Amino acid sequence: MINGKTLQLKPFGIEDADFLLRWNNDSDYTGEFEPYEPVTRGDLEDWLLGNKPDQLWYIIENTLGEKVGQILGRYHKDGSVQIGYRVIPLARGRGYCTEAVATLIQHLFDQGIERITAEANPHNTPSLRVLEKLGFNEIEYKKKAVELNGVWLDGVVYELRREI
């Protein structure tokens, strides 16, 4: 468990299956900038029980213990971590995402990670605002980064380096 000021990041567990099944099968949750890939309960439970040593997966919970989103990290061979995040539609605009990302950043930096990256669609203003608010800098613009419903969307890569 990683504690923030008004939320906590709880590692995914089998007890989160209902939440993940509900929201990962909701196109409003995945949003207009990410591919929508429905998942079955069996596949989700197999995934939750699997070993993922190069990945961090956390449920974002508010102070009431309500699950409001998820945040992840993937370790890369160069020692950096790429992060991603989602907040359920009803909880958006309340600062949960910004605090969750800030909390994960501090946790990663405390563990010695020196570089964190994130990629977002250039039209996903809320996601870009989170990254910029937390000090990330744009380092790359990627043409045709992801295909969504037969349309190729661009991506913007951001990075944050630990100050030593």
pLDDT tens for 117-161 read 999 988 889 999 999 999 999 999 989 887 777 888 888 999 999
pLDDT in tens, 53-100: 788 899 999 988 899 999 999 999 999 999 999 888 888 888 899 999
**How far apart are the C-alpha atoms of 36 and 26, rounded to whole Å?**
8
Q: What is the mean pLDDT of residues 89-116?
A: 93
Residues 6 or more apart from 141 whose CB is under 8 A from it?
A: 122, 154, 155, 156, 157
> Which residue is listed with tokens 């029980």?
49
Neighbouring C-beta atoms of residue 5, cutoff 10 Å = 9
Domain ranges of the chain: 2-161
CATH classification code of 2-161: 3.40.630.30
What pTM, to 2 d.p., does this model score? 0.87
